[in-house]
Homo-oligomer: A and B are copies of this chain.
Amino acid sequence: MGAEDDLTQARKTQAQRTQAQRAQAQKTTSANGAPARRGRKPARAVEPDDADEMAEGSDLDLTGLTSVVGYTLRRAQMAVFEDFSARFATLDLTPAQYSVLLVIADNPGRKQSEIARVLGIQRTNFVVMLDQLEKRGLAERTRSATDARSHAVFLTKAGTALLNKARKLQSAQEEDFANLLGPGGRDTLVSLLRKVARID
């Protein structure tokens, strides 16, 4: 039960937090004297008996969506990533960054483009990701001795150390999944997801 709660706690994600910090340091000095057109556009009126309007404060009907794979996938992913971000906030690692560190650790010296490709990240977007990791001293690029075009990517000592801390947090999350989904449930989920994603 305690383990299950860890997956719900609606803690703020990293992104939300940094954005909130930025916001308070800004205060939005609108700088425009003219109070631009705000408020609402008129909407067509309707007779109260137009339909079965307002059952009262009751809950909405979601039955049309709750058995749709795509929808439940999306909601699950949002929940899991929020949980992940909260756990990894102290390490300042996003889910994507964690996956990059992990793949580099398991495949030291591979080309940038290879790492990006297996992760489904565009070569071009991966450049910036690696820039950030390198700037933080977690990863490094080295010129390949065999191909002057490519960069071989490695983790630094600091990168390996951080990854090891991250692995522990990640294991805890997997354990919580196992507790939440029952024995075998987690494994079944991963197996089904792999089929859907067509991984390996």
Which residues of A does B touch, CB under 8 Å? 7-8, 42-48, 50-54, 60-81, 84, 95, 99, 102-103, 105-110, 114-115, 118, 120, 140-146, 151-152, 154, 170, 173-174, 177, 180-181, 185-186, 188-190, 192-200
User: What B residues does A42 contact at CB under 8 A?
Assistant: 143
Contact B43 A151 (CB under 8 A): yes
Q: Determine the main DSSP class of A at the interface with B.
A: helix
Q: Could you say how many copies of this chain the assembly holds? A: 2
Contact B170 A196 (CB under 8 A): no
Task: Give Cα A54 to B146, complex, Å.
Answer: 10
| A43 → chain B closest CB, angstroms | 4
User: What B residues does A107 contact at CB under 8 A?
Assistant: 60-61
User: What B residues does A194 contact at CB under 8 A?
Assistant: 66, 72, 76
Closest to A140 in B: B44
Contact A103 B65 (CB under 8 A): yes
Task: Give Cα A195 to B45, complex, Å.
Answer: 41
User: What B residues does A81 contact at CB under 8 A?
Assistant: 70, 74
Task: Give Cα A140 to B120, complex, Å.
Answer: 39
Known: A70-B173, A72-B190, A189-B189. A145 touches B109 (CB 8 A): no
| A158 → chain B closest CB, angstroms | 16
User: What B residues does A145 contact at CB under 8 A?
Assistant: 45-48, 53
User: What B residues does A51 contact at CB under 8 A?
Assistant: 108-109, 154
| A159 → chain B closest CB, angstroms | 14
Closest to A106 in B: B61
Name the one of B54, B62, B77, B99 contacting A65, with C-beta atoms under 8 angstroms. B99
Closest to A48 in B: B145
